[in-house]
Each structure stands twice: as structure tokens, then as C-alpha cells.
Chains A and B, each alone.
Chain A
């Protein structure tokens, strides 16, 4: 019953195969763009369009109320003489350079600890993951500020060991460690990804290495690291790009000012202040484009250097 119509359709097809195929292709193209429409509209109206106009604005003086005035490269040259800008670069770079590797090291260490068939593994995994879900929220920024404030629990706890640092929030030398601890505390998200990667490594590799008398250190560098390298690469790239964009915690902890002494003036916070407090939108656009360029270069460097240390399955190991 079901066969005969299919057969007849097929024989009808073979007679006029080309036109039908191209008709199908045309229908697919139409359907493809129709289904893609929401994303396409968003991409053009909310990403490409704004990117082009912020590139244009970055060459102008614009305050939202008067028409933009073309000033060429002035915004960019002014940036490199702006001490607050240079400070915000320093703050952000030290946060990225110290915070991200520490966070990933913690994530990898804990993932390796949890990578065994023991009871309670699921519980620990969930408990360690929880901070990643709430760490960037305003609530946690408030808690962090209170915990690291004068006479807060961190200060009290350290005093117990004879270390008297006072409040970290008001001390320009201690605000960066405080933010780094905040990001390291959120090691759970990369940890869960590492854990999934570790589970993919066949156990026979470790057994074979044990037979050959390899210790834990050699096993780590000769098996775990190369086998996990695609996951390490993914985490490193995503966490680095993410770290450049820290905003809410910096805003709340410093009351939107980047203090004390500019020690929490993160790049995006300074961009926000220039653009939306001073309404120097051309200047802020130049900052935004500089960020895009820097992140682009870093991504490129990551991908270029990855060839030497990232091994995808199928490669020679």
C-alpha cells in the first residue's frame, strides 16, 4: 500500500530530476532565510549596525545632545595620555593575568580530586558549582564587600592568626587580591567542564603508564595534560575573554567610582563612567573598539599558539 505511491513518485522524479532539485533548493533557500530571520535581524540591527556606528563615533566628539563632530584619531591619542585610562588597563590586565590562571588551576586541581568513583561526588560537584551561578550578581558583590570590609569576617579571621591587614575594601593594595579571590571562588564552572573532559580519558592509558612505572607527576604531564588540552584551551579562551568584561561586582564594591585610589577602576567600569556619566560617547566608543581589537588579538594568539600544545583526538598523541 505505502510502496506504490512512493515508487510512482520516484519514477516521476527521475523524468524531471534537475528542475525538481533546483526547485527544492530554491524552497530550501527561502525556508532557510525565513527561519533565520530572527537571528539575522538581531545580528544586523543589534550587532553589525551598532559596531559600525561605534567605529564611526570613536572618531568623533559626541555627547548625545549635539551632533557628532569629526575629530579623527584624537580620541585614540588622548586615551594614551589619560592616566585614568592607563590605570584601568593596568587594573584589568592584572586581574586577567593573575585571576584567570589561578581560577583554572583551582578548577583543574579540584576536578582531578573529584574524578574518581566515590560516593558524594555529585554532591561536591554541585556544591562547588553553585558560586559560578551567583558570583557575578549584585547580591554577592554586597556580601563580598561586607566580608572583606573593616572588622568583617575575613579581617577577623586573619587577626586570629596574627595578620592585621584591616579592611581589604578600603586598602588600594588589597582590592585586587579581593577581586581575584572572588573570581577564583567561581572555579566551579570550568571545573565541571574539566571533569567532563577527564572522564573521556581512557583508563587504560593510566594503567599502561603505571605498568611502565610512571609516577603521578609523569602521568599528569604525559597523559592528563595532552589529553585534556582541547578542554584547557576552551576554558582558557572563554575565561580570559570573560574576565576582561567584569562589571557588576566592580561597580557595586566601589560604589560606581572605581576607588579606593582607582584600584578597582576596571576597563568596563571606566568605559561606563565616560560614556554614561560624562556622556563622552565618542571617547567611550574608542575604548570599546580598543577592547574589541585587544580581545581579537588575544583570541588570534591563542588559536595560533594552540597548534603547538592542543591535541585533538586523531592527532598523534
Chain B
């Protein structure tokens, strides 16, 4: 403050402001912004590197993936790895694995949307004895390590002859077993004005009418986040298929990839990585298309990735 007195008088206004700690000059702002972007971009490079490395490697010949060649670029980029990867493994084509993954993921989305929305309506909009106890139990299952149920579940499905079918993988989706989605929809419905139901009730509408013609249309954002996340979770699921599926022609992509790792063991690295890219492709496309929904969903509902 004291040093400002004499020199500032000769300085132009813009620079004078520079000495004032309260309002920053355009210059400092630009420097700060440059530092921010430099740090953020450096971090982006680190965070995206594994993905870029994966994509670059999938186009490289095997000899260039390991070894002394560390650059992402290569002069020998080709689709050869993808051609090999599309052949599949164990006599099953990769297209078949894709179809299997798709059937499971679509089944998961349909089941979750149907069962979670109906159950959430009961929790959020109907008063009945025992509701708060069941709600508490539902929350508790969010924190429960699911490993405690897989062994008895497996035994039951095995006795019913349902091992090596998709039933054990899908039945939970139709019974709202992913409590997170029920919770998400309950939170969403609780924020809808109560006058909506009251008005509908006075007009003589029952719960079925209120649910289908008032709640469901208003719940669209929650239904979309649920669909996106249940699709991606099912697409990436590994433990479920590993436990229940035995025949390769029923495998979804993650299990096919494991088969690939087991059988090729570093002999065809390129094809293995190409197949990893193919397996992630739908998730990446989903992310690019719906990133607003996904990131907003995480920030407002605390959804896990």
C-alpha cells in the first residue's frame, strides 16, 4: 500500500489495477486462466492416456505394442487386429458375443425400469403400514456386500436347472434387486408436488391411473439415467456371467475376453486389445451421446460409475 503512492501515478490505469488485490486486472486473469488450463490439460492427458494407448495399440502390429516403441503413433496402423478379433474365440464369432451382451443389457434395462418404478411408487406415494421399515431395509441392501447371497443363489439356480441360462442373470433385474435404482426413483418422485396425486384422486383416479398417466411421464429424467446406468452395468458385468454361464456361445463380451486372455496368452496381443476396444465401444458411444445425462445423474443422485 505504501509503495504504491509514488510509482503508480505515472502508470496507466490497467497496470494500476494490478496493484489492487481486490480486483484483478485482465492480465492476471489471463495468466491465472492459462495456469488453470495448463494444469487441467496435463491432467486430462494423464487420465486419457490409458484409453488412447489402448486405441492406438489396437491398430498396431503385435511387434510394436510392447518392446521399445513407446509412442502412440505408428506408421503401420491397420485394421488387421480387428479382423482377427471379429473371428471370435472357441468357435464362436465376436458378433455372437455382442448379441449376447446386448440381450442381457436390454433385458436388464427393461426389467429394472419396470420393477424399480413400480416399487418406487409404493415407497414414495402410497401410505401403508410397514413402509418405513421396508424402506430402511431397502437402504440397508445398498450397503450390503452382495457376495453374501451369491452362494445360496447359485445353489438354488443349480437345483432348478437354470445354470447356463440367462434366468439367474436377469431375474434380479425384474425384481428390483438393484436397490440403487429404486432409491433414485423414490428420491425423484418425492420431489414431485403432492397436489398432483390429490387432484387426480378427487377426480376418482386410482393408483394405477396416477402411476401410469401422471408419474411415469414426469419421471422421464430418472428413467433415462436408470436405463443408461443399468445398461452399462450389465454390459460390464463379469462376476454374474462367470458364475452362471458355461457354454461359450452364451458368453457376453467380458467372458469372451477372459477366454481370449486364457487362450492366446500374449501370443496375439493386438487382437486381444482390439477386442477390448470393441467390448468398450458401446459404453464409450453411450458416454459421448449421453454425457450430460450421465454426469448430471452422478452429481445429483450420487450414482456410482
Q: Which of A38-46, A69-77, A307-315 forms part of the interface with chain B? A: A38-46
Q: Which of B1-9, B88-96, B175-183 forms part of the interface with chain A? A: B175-183
Contact yes or no, B33 A295, CB < 8 A: no
Asked if B131 lies at the interface with its beta carbon under 8 angstroms from chain A, I say yes
Asked if A125 lies at the interface with its beta carbon under 8 angstroms from chain B, I say yes
Central interface residue in B50, B151, B174, B295, by most chain A CB within 10 Å: B151
Number of A interface residues at 8 Å Cβ cutoff, please give it.
96
Contact yes or no, B54 A241, CB < 8 A: no
Query: C-beta contact mask, B17-41 vs A, less than 8 Å → 1, else 0?
Result: 0000000000000000100110110
B175: chain A residues within 8 A (beta carbon): 38-39, 41-42, 45-46
Query: C-beta contact mask, B200-233 vs A, less than 8 Å → 1, else 0?
Result: 0010001100010000000000000000000010
Q: How far is the CB of A132 from chain B (nearest CB, A)?
A: 3
Query: C-beta contact mask, B91-124 vs A, less than 8 Å → 1, else 0?
Result: 0000000000000000000000011101101110
Contact yes or no, A153 B53, CB < 8 A: yes
Alpha-carbon separation in the docked complex, A51 to B137 (Å): 13
A120: chain B residues within 8 A (beta carbon): 37, 40
Counting chain B residues whose Cβ lies within 8 A of the other chain, the interface size class is 35 or more
Residue in chain B with minimal CB distance to A235: B302
Alpha-carbon separation in the docked complex, A203 to B253 (Å): 48
Residue in chain A with minimal CB distance to B266: A149
Residue in chain A with minimal CB distance to B67: A151
Alpha-carbon separation in the docked complex, A57 to B126 (Å): 38
Alpha-carbon separation in the docked complex, A151 to B62 (Å): 13
Number of CB contacts from chain A to chain B under 8 A: 271
Alpha-carbon separation in the docked complex, A292 to B128 (Å): 30
Central interface residue in A47, A151, A295, by most chain B CB within 10 Å: A47
Contact yes or no, B151 A196, CB < 8 A: no
A135-181 CB contacts (< 8 Å) to partner B: 135-140, 142-144, 146-147, 149-153, 156-157
The 15 listed contacts between A and B (C-beta, < 8 Å) are: A6-B202, A31-B206, A33-B128, A36-B122, A38-B174, A38-B175, A42-B115, A53-B152, A113-B36, A114-B40, A138-B279, A143-B50, A147-B53, A189-B303, A245-B146
Q: Which A residues form the contact surface with B (CB < 8 A)?
A: 6, 25, 28-29, 31-43, 45-47, 49-51, 53-54, 57, 64, 110, 113-114, 116, 118, 120, 124-140, 142-144, 146-147, 149-153, 156-157, 185-186, 188-189, 192-193, 195-196, 234, 237-238, 241-242, 244-245, 247-248, 251-252, 255, 268, 271-272, 275-276, 281, 284-285, 288-289, 291-292, 295, 299
Q: Which B residues form the contact surface with A (CB < 8 A)?
A: 33, 36-37, 39-40, 43-44, 47-48, 50-51, 53-54, 57, 65-68, 70, 114-116, 118-119, 121-123, 126-129, 131, 134, 137-138, 141, 143-156, 158, 171-172, 174-177, 182, 202, 206-207, 211, 232, 236, 238-239, 242-243, 253-254, 257-258, 261-262, 269, 272-273, 276-277, 279-280, 283-284, 287, 291, 294-295, 298-300, 302-305
